[in-house]
Amino acid sequence: MRARFQQFIVDSDTRQLLGDGKEIHLSTKAFDLLCVLLARRPNVVAKEDLLRQIWPDSHVVEANLNVVVSEVRRALADNAQAPRFIRTVHGVGFAFCGSAAEVENVSAAAVADGMRCWLVGKDRNFVLSEGDNIIGRDPSCSVCLDDPEVSRRHARIRIDSMRTSAVLEDLESTNGTLLGRSPVKAQMPLANGDVIHIGPVELRFRNGTGQVQETRRVRRKTR
């Protein structure tokens, strides 16, 4: 199974978890748990079922499962009180609650590296990852903009290397999102050079897939 969600990619064949293209270490049991929840998403997997699958030849107590769940949450920067990925169903079990998509016939590393996209800001650039990139004021956002007129979760850019596409979507922000001069009311495709306004903040979308830009030569005056 190969699946992607937001900036993460899980490859059960190579047993890798990638975040922003970099490998994130998980223990064997934690990786197994994440794969089970992804494979069964969005269904709730009972604690007893998880214990049987992750510890097939051992008898362990429920506390062991809670430790492994906590490890996965730390790796994904997830919060049990406001989960983006791992949801607790009290008295029953756990479920993967994020938006994930299968990646077929492409290695996780290739997908992560396949479509190079970034946003050019006034003071810095933001590299975009495969899957969902949330733009907002919240420090947990993929593109964090420290401006009071930017909503905590303002907009989303979804990168899909399989389809070589990038789309922009407003997340019901207070001050709106513009693509060029057009308000973003639904998902809108992005092209290289598009100007995006996140509230008052201007960003330029860049897509470097398959493009090799020559370095501009500096003309120096001769004396």
Q: Residue 114 — pLDDT band, cuts 50, 70, 90?
A: low
For 78-87, 159-168, 187-196, which range has the lowest pLDDT when averaged over its residues? 159-168
Give the pLDDT mean for 50-57. 90
**Long-range contact pairs involving 191-200 (C-beta distance under 8 Å, separation at least 24):** 196/119, 196/155, 196/168, 198/135, 198/145, 198/150, 198/154, 198/155, 198/173, 199/147, 199/149, 199/150, 199/151, 199/154, 199/173, 199/174, 199/175, 200/147, 200/149, 200/150, 200/175
Give the pLDDT mean for 49-76. 92
Give the pLDDT mean for 163-188. 92
Q: Which residue has the higher pLDDT, 119 or 7?
A: 119
For the chain, what's the residue count? 223
Cα atoms found within 13 Å of the Cα of residue 171, Cβ hemisphere only: 17
pTM above 0.75, yes or no: no
Q: Residue 107 — pLDDT band, cuts 50, 70, 90?
A: very low
Residue 76, phi then psi, degrees to nearest 5: -95, 5
Q: What is the pLDDT of residue 112?
A: 47
> Residues 8-32: pLDDT tens digits?
889 888 899 988 778 899 999 999 9
Q: Is the pLDDT of residue 110 over 50?
A: no
Q: What is the pLDDT of residue 164?
A: 78
> Residues 69-103: pLDDT tens digits?
999 999 999 999 999 999 999 999 999 998 887 76
Q: What is the pLDDT of residue 167?
A: 94
